[in-house]
């Protein structure tokens, strides 16, 4: 449970709000590099943290990100011409470069030098790991880029998708760290009912998760604060003398990494507030050791796991609220808990069903919600510290993000942070 | 034996025994992680008691549960404010 004040502090993200200012202390993924693929390509509209912006790649290949509306008459620069190192408003011809400086104003007498006095709001960008990152905070507080493993692997080892979710970012983050939901929301009916055929299948499976989730339905949660955020360790009984541990990382301000099993690919998310009631879901799949496998490519193409297909213009998933996420009630009756195809759509459906911003004064949490409580408290501490003038240390410690989630079986005498330490360091 | 604040107390009810365990855990909690566990336990007590309150037909018993719900809420917010000992004192007032 949270008070309304706390809920507002965490969920409001416009300029001047608690979480809004906090997010403005980090580099945030804003665009796929492929959305502005070439010099002088068409500009792209994007909303971030409640701000309507337009992005473009100029003649020199630099990516500009500026307020969408021309400071002259507030017309949209999305309709502008991207030409000769600047974006020109097609209404009266005012032209802005990537720094936001007005470099041409053909409708004003040149002797006035009016263009030299005009700027529009522009934000710095970086191209990194196939994405365009944006920093919307004060120039003198510019942070470091997070040293994420997914951004350092070769392009062939990585797949990144971006989609719109019609909820506040926080309930999406909470879905990412709430590992107990996967036994229900993402389960098959056989797994939920623990049928004989399911037991026979998973007992011989190399998938540790399926095997040990079956043996222990009441996991123990441990959270530990780290330089980058939190590690959330979930412990289940494995064999007589061992535990099965799954470690999820929450990386500030809003990343998670799904527990990884050696030999598979790693998956993670970043949820970036678009405004208070919508967010951008960035989903990452990467293999630190090899190009993505055929199995990974098929999961992406068939939307069976964490990625979902989207409308190319709006980036709204094709399965969405307006079509009930394509729910198949017969499939739900016979095969899967939701009847909705793919983990991404299942998460989206359930999170959007909670309303755009969950009223956390009305929820009823229990001890299996430890990870959610920890994430909220950490964010609240960080936001309040910033309000008191203390900058978030993780924003200036990109190296802290050089981590990887993990899952493994350890002897019962060994604590996870000792036994898994070497595996939780990224390794590209 | 001293209670380990890094372990989550199993909250299956809001009995006096459960409350005593929560108090003992609150009194030795110092770290961020400990306070997260304590908050989750108080959330659980508040939830269970809140549901019980709706179904309780006996007026005297209902009043006692209502007091417990309110106190658990106050204790929860004290833990959130990193004041676990004051939260323990609140719970003690119920015993």
Q: Where are the domains of chain A?
A: 22-141, 149-424
Question: Residue B49's closest chain A neighbor by CA?
Answer: A364
pLDDT tens for each residue of A11-32 = 999 999 999 999 999 999 999 9
Residue B85 lies in a domain: yes
* Total domains, chain B: 1
- The residue-averaged pLDDT of A203-224 equals 81
Task: Using alpha carbons, list the distances in angstroms from residue A44 to A133, A187, A215.
Answer: 14, 38, 50
Name the pLDDT band for A108 (thresholds 50, 70, 90): confident
Q: Which pLDDT score, from 0 to 100, does residue B36 have?
A: 96
Phi, psi torsion values for A189, nearest 5 degrees: -65, -40
Domain A149-424 fold is Naphthalene 1,2-dioxygenase Alpha Subunit; Chain A, domain 1 (3.90.380)
Q: Which pLDDT score, from 0 to 100, does residue A266 have?
A: 95
Residue B28 lies in a domain: yes
- What is the DSSP track for B13-56? ---HHHHHHHHHHHHT--SHHHHHHHHHHHHHHHHHHHHHHHH-
Contact yes or no for B10 and A364 at CB 8 A = no
The alpha carbon of residue B40 is apart from the nearest alpha carbon of chain A, in Å, by: 5
Q: How many CB pairs under 8 A join A and B?
A: 57
**Is the model's pLDDT at A112 over the cut of 90?**
no
Contacts of A377 in chain B (CB under 8 A): 32, 35-36, 39, 80
Q: Which pLDDT score, from 0 to 100, does residue A205 have?
A: 79
How many residues are recorded in chain B? 95
Q: Which pLDDT score, from 0 to 100, does residue A174 have?
A: 97
**Is the model's pLDDT at A113 over the cut of 80?**
no
- The residue-averaged pLDDT of B63-80 equals 96
Same fold, A22-141 and A149-424: no
Residue B11 lies in a domain: no
- This prediction has a pTM of 0.95
Instruction: Write the CB contacts of A256 (distance below 8 Å, at least 6 apart in sequence).
Output: A173, A176, A177, A248, A249, A250, A268, A269
Residue B49 lies in a domain: yes
Host domain of residue B83: 16-92
- Would you say A115 and A103 are in contact if contact means Cβ atoms under 8 Å apart? yes
Domain A22-141 fold is Rieske Iron-sulfur Protein (2.102.10)
Instruction: Name the residue with higher pLDDT: A428 or B89.
Output: B89
Inform me whether the C-beta atom of residue B79 falls under 8 Å from chain A C-beta atoms.
no
Residue B75 lies in a domain: yes
């Amino acid at each position: 449970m949270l008070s309304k004040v706390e809920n507002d502090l965490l969920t409001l993200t416009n300029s001047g709000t608690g979480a809004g200012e906090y997010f403005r202390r980090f580099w945030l993924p804003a665009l796929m590099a492929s959305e502005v693929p070439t010099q002088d390509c068409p500009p792209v509209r994007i909303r971030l943290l409640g701000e309507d912006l337009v992005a473009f790649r100029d003649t020199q290949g630099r990516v500009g990100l500026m307020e969408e509306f021309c400071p002259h008459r507030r017309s949209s620069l999305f309709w502008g011409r991207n030409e000769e190192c600047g974006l020109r408003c097609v209404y009266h011809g005012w032209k802005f470069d990537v720094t936001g400086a007005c470099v041409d104003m053909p409708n004003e007498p040149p002797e006035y030098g009016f263009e030299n006095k005009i700027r529009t709001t522009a934000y710095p960008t970086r191209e990194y790991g196939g994405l365009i990152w944006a920093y919307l905070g004060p120039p003198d507080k510019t942070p470091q880029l997070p040293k994420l493993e997914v951004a350092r692997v070769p392009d062939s080892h990585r797949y990144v998708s971006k989609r719109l979710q019609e909820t506040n970012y926080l309930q999406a983050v909470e879905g990412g760290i709430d590992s107990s939901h996967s036994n229900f929301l993402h389960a098959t009916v056989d797994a939920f009912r623990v049928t004989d055929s399911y037991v026979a299948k998973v007992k011989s499976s190399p998938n540790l998760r399926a095997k040990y989730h079956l043996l222990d339905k009441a996991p123990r949660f441990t959270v530990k604060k780290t330089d980058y955020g939190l590690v959330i360790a979930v412990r289940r009984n494995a064999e007589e003398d061992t535990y099965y541990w799954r470690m999820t990382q929450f990386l500030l301000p809003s990343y998670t990494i799904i527990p990884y099993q050696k030999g598979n690919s790693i998956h993670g998310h970043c949820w970036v507030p678009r405004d208070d009631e919508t967010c951008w879901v960035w989903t990452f799949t990467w293999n630190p050791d090899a190009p993505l496998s055929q199995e990974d490519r098929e999961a992406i193409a068939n939307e069976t796991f964490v990625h979902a297909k989207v409308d190319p213009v709006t980036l709204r998933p094709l399965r969405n609220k307006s079509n009930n996420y394509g729910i198949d009630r017969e499939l739900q009756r016979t095969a899967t808990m939701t009847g909705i195809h793919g983990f991404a759509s299942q998460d989206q459906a359930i999170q959007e069903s909670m309303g755009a911003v969950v009223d956390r004064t009305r929820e009823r949490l229990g001890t299996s919600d430890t990870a959610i409580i920890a994430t909220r408290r950490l964010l609240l501490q960080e936001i309040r510290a910033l309000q008191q003038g203390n900058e978030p240390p993780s924003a200036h410690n990109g190296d802290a993000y050089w981590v990887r989630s993990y899952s493994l079986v350890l002897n019962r005498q060994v604590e996870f942070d000792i036994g898994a330490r070497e595996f939780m360091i990224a390794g590209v | 034996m001293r209670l380990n604040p890094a372990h989550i107390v199993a909250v299956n009810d809001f009995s006096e025994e459960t409350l005593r365990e929560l108090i003992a855990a609150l009194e030795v909690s110092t770290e961020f992680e400990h306070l997260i566990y304590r908050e989750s336990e108080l959330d659980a007590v508040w939830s269970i008691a809140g549901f019980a309150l709706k179904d309780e037909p006996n007026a005297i018993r209902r009043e006692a549960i209502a007091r417990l719900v309110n106190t658990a809420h106050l204790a929860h917010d004290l833990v959130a404010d990193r004041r676990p000992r004051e939260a323990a004192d609140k719970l003690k007032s119920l015993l």
